[in-house]
Amino acid sequence: MDQQLKSNLLSSAHWIRLLFMLLFALLVQVAAAVMWVVVVVQFLFNLVGGTSNIPLREFGHSLSVFIFQCWQFLNYNSDDKPFPFQDWPGDSSD
């Protein structure tokens, strides 16, 4: 076996990242379900009241940023772990 491959297979950092990746993959699925609820409720607000709900719109923005941060981590585009390992993304005025 190649020494580099053996070193990679035995490195705990790779296996710990895998555990975090599984956690964030699960969180993305939950967040996507929540996002659908936000979409439907926002549509109803717009349908009934003629305007969107600003706090809900800000939450939707921060949730979409969270989902993006998770995908960045899952795709190795970032080593920064998203929430809860850093602050929840701010609203759209940040």
Tens of pLDDT, residue by residue over 1-55, are: 688 888 888 888 899 999 999 999 999 999 999 999 999 999 999 999 999 999 9
Annotated domain spans of the chain:
15-88
pTM assigned to the model: 0.85
Alpha helices by DSSP H, the chain: 3-10, 12-49, 54-74
C-alpha 58/C-alpha 83 separation (Å) is 17
Cis? peptide before 84, omega within 30° of 0: yes
Whether residue 94 is predicted with pLDDT greater than 50 in this model: the reply is no
